[in-house]
Amino acid sequence: MGSNGRSNFDVLVVGAGPAGMAAAARAAESGARTGLVDENFRPGGQIWRSACEDAPTDARHWIQRCTSAGVTFLCGMRVVDHLKPGVLTAELMDRTHEIGYQQLVVATGARERFLPFSGWTLPNVMGAGGLQAMVKSGLPIQGRRVVVAGTGPLLLAVAASLQKHRARVLMVCEQASWITLARFAVALIGQTGKVAQAAQLKKELKSVPFVPNSWPVAAEGNDVIETVTISRAGKLEKIACDYLACGFHLVPNTELAALLGCKLANDYVQVDDLQRTTVPGVFCAGEPTGIGGVELALVEGQIAGLAAGGNIGAAKDLSAESKKLKKFAVHLERTFQLRKGLQFLAKPDTIVCRCEDVSYSRLERYQNWRSAKLQTRCGMGACQGRICGPATHFLFNWTPDSVRPPIFPARVESLAALASHPEPEQQTAVGGH
Amino acid sequence: MPEVLVLRVNGTPLEVPAGVTVGVAVMLAGQPCRMSASGQPRGPLCGMGICFECRVTINGRPHCRSCQILCESGMDVRTDG
C-alpha cells in the first residue's frame, strides 16, 4: 500500500467525458487552478473512449484546450468517497489520494440500462456500448455475427462502429415503434447536425436491417450465446449469432451527487440555469442532469466550468443554447421510453441480480428494494445495484436506497486510510456494509 | 505490426497485441471471467467498469475489473480465484 497523496484545486471536475472536459477547460481558462479526475487511463469518457490517434475531432479539441489551459489530469483514479466538505477520496491501483477543492463539478456521465431476459447472463451477451468498448479495447470482431438490440440512439452508432471493425451486423432491433421513431425524426428537423449524423449512420448501415417493434426474448447457448430469439412484429425469430449487443438506453450516474447531498428530481440531479446543484459549491453537468447527448453535455459542461471559475457572465451567455438543446433531451426520453411488455421478458427463473444470482421469482414477493435487499441480497454485490437497480426500478417500480460510502467497492487498505482520518463532523461509518 | 506481449491466463501463456485489456485477453483465451454464485459462467457485460462481471485475479490481487486494466508482459491472470 503506497502512501497517501494529496492535491488541491480551486475547481475539481469529476469525469473526463464531454461535459467534464468542457467544464475543466472553461474553468481553467477563467483562471482557476483546475483538476480533472477520471477512473479511466485516458480522458474522453465512454462516448469518446478510443485510442488517441482515432479520437474524434471534438475530443481532440477539448483535450487540447484542457492541456493549453493548464488543467491537471488525474487519470486512473476512481472517486470512492466524500471525506468531508471540500475533500474527495480517490483510489488508484495501489494507494489512495485525497483531492481538495473549492468548487466541484460532477460530470459522472451515464451507463447503459440492462433488462433481464432469459439467457442475458450468458457470456457474449453484452451491452451495446459494452461490446463497442471491448472492441475498442482490442477484441477482434471481424467476421463475427452480431445482433444489436434494445433501444436508443446508441444502437445505430454501435452498429456502425462494429461494422467499421468488419463485424457482420445481422440486425438492429429497436423496441420503439415506427410511429414514435417517425415523430422523433420529425422533431430532429431543424437540428441540422443531428439530421446529418442520422443520415450518415443510415448510409453506413444500408445493408443492415433496422427493425422497430422488436426486442430480444431469449439468448440461448451452452457456455456462450449461440442463438438469440427476437420478437419481431409479434412473431418469434431465432437468429444464430456470436454476440448479442443489447442495451436499453441510458441511466444517469448520480451516486456521487447523491452522496454529496445534491437533491435529485425524477432520477436526475436537480440544477439551476448555471448548473448549480442544491449543495453550495457543487455543480453538475451532462447526463446526470438529464440524458441529452454530447452537444448538450458540452454546453452544460462549459456553463458549469465558467460558473465554477467565477465567470458568471460568460456562463449566462450559453443558457439560450442549452435550453434549445434540452428540447432534444425531451424527445429522446419520449421516443425511447420502454414499452410495458418488456417487463414480462424476465421469467420466474431469470436472474435479475447478477452479482448474487437472485432470480425474478425470489424478488416479486417484496414490496420495495430495501426488503428485497435484506432478504435476498439483491443489489448487495460488487456492482452495488448499478445493474439490477435500474432493472428493478422498471420491473417492480422500486427506488434505490440512499447512497452510502464507499460509492464503489474500495480496498480494505483504502477504508483503513479513510477511517484513520480525523473527522470533525458526524458521518456515516465508512465501509458500513 | 503492433508490439506483442505474453501473459498467463490460468497458467497458460497467451500472446496478445500491446494495448489490449485483460478482459479482451480472457475472452481471447476462451475463458469466462468468473463463475457466478450459482456456478454459471460470466463474461464482460458493461465494458466500462461498472458491472464487475469481468472481475479476475491479477498477480494475486482479487476482484480486478479486467475491462479497465491493460495487459502487461508477464501478468498472471486467474479466472478461477
Partner-chain contact A357 B67, CB within 8 Å: no
**Cα distances (angstroms) measured from residue A93 to each of A410, B63, B68:** 11, 12, 11
Q: Which residue is closest to A224 within chain B, CA to CA?
A: B41
Q: In whole angstroms, what is the distance from residue A277 CA to residue A213 CA? A: 38
Test A123 with B24 for CB contact under 8 angstroms.
Answer: no
Question: Percent of chain B at pLDDT above 90?
Answer: 95
A177 with A166, same domain: the answer is yes
Contacts A–B by Cβ distance under 8 A? 104
Of A122, A381, A386, the CB nearest to B50: A386
Which domain, by its residues, includes A218? 119-248
Is residue B62 reached through a cis peptide bond, with omega within 30 degrees of 0 on the bond before it?
no
Does A207 share its domain with A96?
Answer: no
State the ipTM, two decimals: 0.96
What is d(CA A179, CA A168) in angstroms, rounded to the nearest whole number? Answer: 28
Contacts of B24 in chain A (CB under 8 A): 134, 137-139
Q: What pLDDT is attached to residue A426?
A: 37
Would you say residue A266 lies in a domain? yes
A188-213: average pLDDT:
82
Contact B50 A46 (CB under 8 A): no
CA dihedral A290, A180, A45, A136 (to 10 degrees): 170
Interface touch A133/B48, C-beta < 8 Å: yes
Indicate left, alpha or beta for B74 from its phi (over 0: left) and psi (-120 to 50: alpha): left
Is A429 a domain residue?
no
Shortest Cα distance, chain B CAs vs residue A389, angstroms: 11
pLDDT value of position A124: 98
Enter the C-alpha cell of residue A407: 460509492
Q: Which residue of B lies nearest to A245 if distances are taken between CA atoms?
A: B45
Average pLDDT over residues A152-159: 94
Q: Spell out which chain B residues touch chain A, with contact meaning CB-CB distance below 8 angstroms.
A: 16-17, 19-21, 23-24, 27-28, 32, 36-38, 40-53, 55, 63, 67-68, 70
> Does residue A18 belong to any structural domain of this protein?
yes
- Is B67 close to A133, i.e. CB distance below 8 A? yes
Same domain for A388 and A273: no
Q: Is residue A339 part of a domain?
A: no
Residue A329 pLDDT > 80: yes
Environment class of residue A178 by beta-carbon count within 10 Å: exposed (0-12), middle (13-18) or buried (19+)? exposed
* Helix/strand/coil (H/E/C) assignment for every residue in chain A: CCCCEEEEEEEEEECCCHHHHHHHHHHHHCCCCEEEEECCCCCCCCCCCCCHHHCCHHHHHHHHHHHHCCCEEEECCEEEEEEECCEEEEECCCCEEEEEEEEEEECCCEEECCCCCECCCCCCEECHHHHHHHHHCCCCCCCCEEEEEEECCHHHHHHHHHHHCCCEEEEEEECCCHHHHHHHHHHHCCCHHHHHHHHHHHHHCCCCCEECCEEEEEEECCCCCCEEEEEECCEEEEEECCEEEEEECEEECCHHHHHCCCCEECCEECCCCCCECCCCCEEECCHHHCCCHHHHHHHHHHHHHHHHCCCHHHHHHCHHHHHHHHHHHHHHHHHCCCCHHHHHCCCCCCEEECCCCEEHHHHCCCCCHHHHHHHHCCCCCCCCCCCHHHHHHHHHCCCCCCCCCCCCCCCHHHHHHHHCCCCCCCCCCCCCC
Sorting pLDDT into bands at 50, 70 and 90, what band is A418?
low
Q: With 70 as the cut, is the pLDDT of residue A73 above it?
A: yes
Residue of A nearest to B29 (CA): A139
Same domain, yes or no, for A238 and A270? no
Choose one of A334, A355, A370: the last residue of a domain.
Answer: A334
Task: Determine the Cα–Cα distance for residues B53 and B58; give it in Å rounded to an integer.
Answer: 15
**pLDDT, tens digit (0-9, with 9 covering 90-100), for A247-257:** 999 999 999 99
**What pLDDT was estimated at residue A417?**
62
Confirm if A63 and A150 have CB atoms less than 8 A apart.
no
Q: What is the mean pLDDT of residues A337-357?
A: 96
| Partner residues linked to B55 by β-bridges | B65
Contact A130 B47 (CB under 8 A): yes
> What confidence tier does B2 reach under pLDDT thresholds 50, 70, 90?
low
**Which of A49, A223, A383 faces B51 most closely, judged by CB atoms?**
A383
Indicate the residue of B40, B43, B68 with minimum beta-carbon distance to A124.
B43
Taking residues A91-109, report their average pLDDT: 93
Contact A104, A14 (CB under 8 A): yes
What is the percent of chain A with per-residue pLDDT over 70, rounded to a whole number? Answer: 92
**How far is the C-alpha of A172 from the C-alpha of A159, rounded, in Å?**
7
- On whether both A177 and A194 belong to a single domain, the answer is yes
Over residues B16-35, the mean pLDDT reads 96
pLDDT at B33 over 70: yes
Looking at residue A54, its pLDDT comes to: 58
Are residues A49 and A128 both part of a single domain? no
Mean pLDDT, chain A, whole residue set: 90
Categorize the per-residue pLDDT at A353 as very low, low, confident or very high, splitting at 50, 70 and 90: very high
Band (A428; pLDDT cuts 50, 70, 90): very low
In the structure, what pLDDT confidence band is assigned to residue A232 with cuts at 50, 70 and 90?
very high
Cα of A67 vs its chain's centroid, Å:
25
pLDDT of residue B80: 75
A32-47 pLDDT, tens digit each: 999 999 988 788 888 8
- Grid cell for residue A191: 437540428
Asked if residue A88 and residue A144 are part of one domain, the reply reads: no
Span A379-406, mean pLDDT?
Answer: 89
For the whole model, what pTM was predicted? 0.91
Q: Please tell me the predicted confidence (pLDDT) of residue A1.
A: 42
Across A394-407, average pLDDT: 84
Q: Does the pLDDT at position A429 exceed 90?
A: no
Q: Both A94 and A166 in a single domain? A: no
Residue for grid cell 435529485? A264
Distance in angstroms (rounded) separating the CA atoms of residues A213 and A94: 48
Chain A residues in contact with B44 by the CB 8 A cut-off are 126, 130, 134
Residue A185 is predicted with a pLDDT of 84
Q: Are residues A75 and A424 in contact, defined by beta-carbon separation less than 8 angstroms? A: no
Q: Total domain count for chain A?
A: 3
From A183, A216, A248, give the residue that closes a domain: A248
Residues A138 and A244 in one domain: yes
Same domain membership, residue A239 and residue A256: no
Distance from CA of B75 to the nearest CA of A (A): 15
With CA atoms as reference, the chain B residue closest to A135 would be B24
Q: How far is B73 from chain A (nearest CA, A)?
A: 16
Distances (CA, A) of A284 to A15, A85, A149, A194, A288: 11, 16, 31, 24, 7
pLDDT at residue A420, as a whole number: 57
CATH 3.10.20.440: does it fit domain B4-78?
yes
pLDDT at A328 over 90: no
The length of chain A is: 433
Note the pLDDT of residue A196. 78
pLDDT of residue A358 exceeding 60, the answer is yes
CB-nearest partner of A111 from B27, B37, B46: B46
Above 80 in pLDDT, residue B67?
yes
Q: How confident is the model at residue A413 (pLDDT cuts 50, 70, 90)?
A: low
A16, part of any domain: yes
CATH number for A16: 3.50.50.60
pLDDT at A433: 34
- pLDDT > 70? residue A203: yes
User: Cα dist. A418→A98, A99, A174, A409, A411 in Å?
Assistant: 10, 13, 45, 13, 11
Q: How far apart are CA A421 and CA A89, in angstroms?
A: 11
Q: What is the pLDDT, as a whole number, of residue A51?
A: 46
Of B14, B15, B51, B65, which to mutate for an interface test with A (greatest number of A Cβ within 10 Å)? B51
Helix (H) or strand (E) holding B25: helix B22-28
Between B13 and A4, whose confidence is greater?
Answer: B13
Find the length of chain B. Answer: 81
Contact B45 A39 (CB under 8 A): no
- pLDDT of A409 over the 80 cut: no
Distance from CA of A117 to the nearest CA of B (A): 14
- Look at residue A428 and tell me if it is in a domain: no
pLDDT above 90 (res A373): yes
Of A213, A248, A283, which one is at a domain's C-terminal end? A248
Probe site for chain B from A134, A357, A411, A413 (most B CB atoms < 10 A): A134
Alpha carbon A315 to its chain's center: 25
Which residues of A fall within a CB distance of 8 Å from B38? 357
- Could you tell me the pLDDT band of residue A349, with boundaries at 50, 70 and 90? very high
Cα A141 to Cα A118: distance, rounded to the nearest angstrom: 24
In chain A, which residues have their Cβ closer than 8 Å to the Cβ of B50? 111, 383, 386-387
Compute φ and ψ for A232, nearest 5 degrees: -135, 115
**Which pLDDT band, with edges at 50, 70 and 90, does A431 fall under?**
very low
Facing A126 at nearest CB: one of B32, B47, B55: B47
Select from A427, A433, A420, A348 the least CA-distant residue to A385: A433
**Separation in Å, CA of A138 to nearest CA in chain B:** 5
